[in-house]
Amino acid sequence: MPLVRIDLVRGRRPDEVRAVADATHRALVEVLGIPERDRFQIVTEHEGDHVVALDAGLGFTRTDRLVMIQIFTQKGRTTQVKQRLFRAVAQRLGTLGIGGEDVFVSVVENGPQDWSFGFGRAQYTEGALPVPGR
């Protein structure tokens, strides 16, 4: 059920873009236990000067391999689970040659009433879909 936005600096080949999306999804399946077909991703490429991502004072430099990921998901996951997710995403992207300094992940939580999967209906609220984790 997570909705994932992936922002990249333009310049990757289509297969590289797909590999980033696939690696991110694999981490979600592995750590959050979501179904394989529960995949909602939006990948956007930007000109390099349209992305600003400093180090928050941590003392490292990012490159044009930057991947910024926002994961919109239902509330209720523990800090430990989120940390495992951050590590899993970074490890999977690392296998694609993306260094840890270039992996930025944010989790945004909401509730079942905040989702509509189509037809103008709130499927979780109406009971058409089971609420994850309940």
Q: Which residues are catalytic?
A: 2
Return the closest-CA partner of residue 90 out of 108, 109, 68: 68
Residues 63 and 93 sit within 8 Å (Cβ to Cβ): no
Return the closest-CA partner of residue 124 out of 114, 71, 133: 114
Q: How far apart are CA 44 and CA 12, in angstroms?
A: 12
